[in-house]
């Protein structure tokens, strides 16, 4: 049945094309039959006008996209370096949109304005070093400023100090889930290696070296990890099998997890999960998503399947580096909360020395 449908569609498409070709051909009636397949004055006129129309199309797509799609974008950042990131992003966007609007206009307007007319001679203009200089130097200056700004921000984000009071958290990636390890009371992570993974009958899921005393008070969590608000976190990232990438978009944070080495990233969360749930953009987004989920649920229940749970906002840790079958579903929840709530959560965790007993 589907095959028949596809064939019908193909045939109809074919007929439609044939007819459109006919229209193009008819638009050339009146002049003497020319089948040279070289553009005539009429072709130039039509395509030149279409070039102008295309400029309008590009603008329309741009405006439409910003109008309707900007609401799906990430909400305001939830980390200390986030605002600097967002400012740089929107400055770059302003530069891009300005350049895009201007150059596309000039390109398509020239294409429209100078569409060929028989017997008109083009203007012989081979080069102009002054012009070349101008349009080399202007982008150069703009790019230079953007680079300087970018490099300063980059330096601030990446060259973090190993403060004493920064919380150290290890994010541990494997096919296809995340685990997080905390240093415990001493806030120091014990040594670890994949070679210890099979110790203690699978009770050592991220391979802590039991001969390192620093590791005895470490604890490992799955599904979700908690962070205290306004305290700097230094992430140590490891992977046990293939490349993964720890992507925490709401914090404007990402770093690859590389087997055989420990990579690092640091940020300071500035908004608790509860605060972020009150953010107006987030509220709008959640409402929109729940509306979609409600509609989908109706379809599902009609088919006798389970309906979807309503969605509530949570910070996410995703995998952004292709890592195999379930790459698309490698997630962990991040909870940012007050120092007090965080301490309560920590107190509930079982430390390594207890786990292996």
Partner 1 sequence: MSEVSSIPHSNHDDHHHHKETFITKYIFSQDHKMIAKQYLILGVLFMGFIGVAMSLLFRLQLAWPEQSFAVFDIFLGDWAPEGVMDPNIYLALVTIHGTIMVFFVLTAGLSGTFSNLLIPLQIGARDMASGLLNMISFWLFFLSSMIMLASLFVEAGPAAAGWTIYPPLSALPQAQPGSGMGMTLWLISMAIFVASSLLGSLNYIVTVINLRTKGMSMFRLPLTIWAFFVTAIIGVISFPVLLSAALLLIMDRSFGTSFFLSDIFVQGEVLHYQGGSPVLFEHLFWFLGHPEVYIVLLPALGITSEIIATNSRKPIFGYRAMVASILAIAFLSTVVWGHHMFISGMNPFLGSVFTFTTLLIAIPSAVKAFNYITTLWKGNLQFNPGMLFSIGLVSTFITGGLTGIILGDSTLDINIHDTYFVVAHFHLVMGISALYGLFAGVYHWFPKLFGRMMNKNLGFIHFWITAIAAYGVFFPMHFIGMAGLPRRYYTNTAFPYFDDLANINVVITVFALLAGAAQLVFLYNFISSMFFGKKAEQNPWRSNTMEWTAPVEHIHGNWPGEIPHVHRWAYDYSKPGQKEDFVLQTTPLGKDEKETEH
Within 8-37, the residues that bind partner 1 by CB under 8 A are 13, 17, 20-21, 24-25, 35-37
Rounded to an integer, what distance in angstroms lies between the CA atom of residue 184 and that of residue 168? 9
Asked if 96 touches partner 1 (CB under 8 A), the answer is yes
Nearer to partner 1, 139 or 343 (CB): 139
Closest CA to 264 of 129, 161, 147, 193: 161
Selected binder of partner 1 within 52, 76, 95, 279 (CB under 8 A): 95
What are the residues facing 192 on neighbouring strands?
208
Hey, CA dihedral for 260, 266, 271, 272, is it positive or negative?
positive
Selected binder of partner 1 within 50, 80, 166, 346 (CB under 8 A): 50
Q: Which residues contact 279 (CB under 8 A, 6 or more apart)?
A: 75, 76, 271
SS3 state of residue 38: coil
DSSP letter, residue 214 = G
Rounded to an integer, what distance in angstroms lies between the CA atom of residue 256 and that of residue 247? 8
- DSSP secondary structure of 301-348: HHTTPPPPPPP---EEEEE-S--STTGGG-EEEEEEE-HHHHHHHHHT
Window 99 to 118, contacts with partner 1 (CB under 8 A): 99-100, 103-104, 106-108, 110-111, 114-117
Window 271 to 300, contacts with partner 1 (CB under 8 A): 285, 288-289, 292-293
Window 204 to 263, contacts with partner 1 (CB under 8 A): 207, 240-243, 245, 247, 249-250, 252-256, 258-261, 263
Q: At closest approach, how far in Å is the CB of 135 from partner 1?
A: 5
Q: At closest approach, how far in Å is the CB of 80 from partner 1?
A: 14
For partner 1 (CB under 8 A), the number of binding residues is: 128
Nearer to partner 1, 180 or 342 (CB): 180
Q: Which stretch binds partner 1 (CB under 8 A): 212-220, 272-280, 325-333, 336-344?
A: 325-333
Q: Which stretch binds partner 1 (CB under 8 A): 135-143, 183-191, 227-235, 299-307?
A: 135-143
């Amino acid at each position: 049945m589907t095959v028949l449908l596809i064939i019908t569609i193909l045939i109809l498409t074919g007929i439609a094309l044939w007819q459109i070709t006919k229209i193009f051909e008819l638009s050339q009636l009146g002049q003497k039959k020319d089948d040279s397949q070289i553009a005539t004055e009429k072709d130039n006129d039509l395509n030149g006008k279409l070039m102008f129309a295309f400029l309008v199309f590009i603008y329309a797509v741009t405006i439409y996209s910003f109008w309707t799609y900007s609401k799906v974008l990430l909400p305001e950042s939830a980390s200390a370096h986030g605002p600097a990131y967002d400012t740089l992003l929107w400055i770059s966007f302003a530069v891009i949109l300005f350049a895009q609007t201007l150059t596309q206009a000039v390109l398509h307007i020239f294409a429209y304005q100078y569409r060929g007319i028989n017997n008109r001679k083009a203007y012989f203009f081979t080069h102009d070093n002054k012009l070349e200089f101008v349009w080399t130097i202007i982008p150069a200056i703009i790019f230079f400023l953007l680079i300087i700004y970018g490099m300063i921000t980059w330096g601030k984000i990446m060259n973090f100090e190993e403060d004493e009071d920064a919380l150290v958290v290890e994010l541990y990636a494997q096919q296809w889930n995340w685990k997080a390890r905390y240093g415990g009371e001493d806030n120091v992570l014990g040594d670890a290696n994949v070679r210890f993974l099979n110790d203690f009958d699978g009770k050592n899921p991220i391979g802590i070296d039991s001969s390192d005393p620093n590791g005895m008070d470490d604890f490992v969590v799955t599904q979700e990890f908690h962070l205290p608000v306004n305290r700097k976190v230094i992430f140590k990232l490891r992977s046990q099998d293939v490349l993964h990438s720890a992507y925490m978009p709401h914090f404007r944070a990402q770093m690859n997890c590389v087997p055989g080495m420990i990579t690092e990233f640091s940020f300071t969360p500035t908004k608790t999960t509860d605060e972020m749930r009150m953010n107006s953009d987030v509220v709008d987004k959640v409402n929109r998503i729940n509306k979609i989920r409600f509609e989908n649920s109706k379809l599902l229940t009609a088919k006798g399947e389970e309906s979807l749970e309503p969605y509530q906002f949570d910070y996410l840790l995703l995998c952004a580096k292709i890592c195999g079958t379930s790459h698309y579903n490698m997630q962990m929840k991040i909870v940012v909360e007050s120092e007090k709530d965080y301490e309560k959560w920590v107190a509930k965790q079982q430390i390594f020395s207890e786990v292996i007993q």
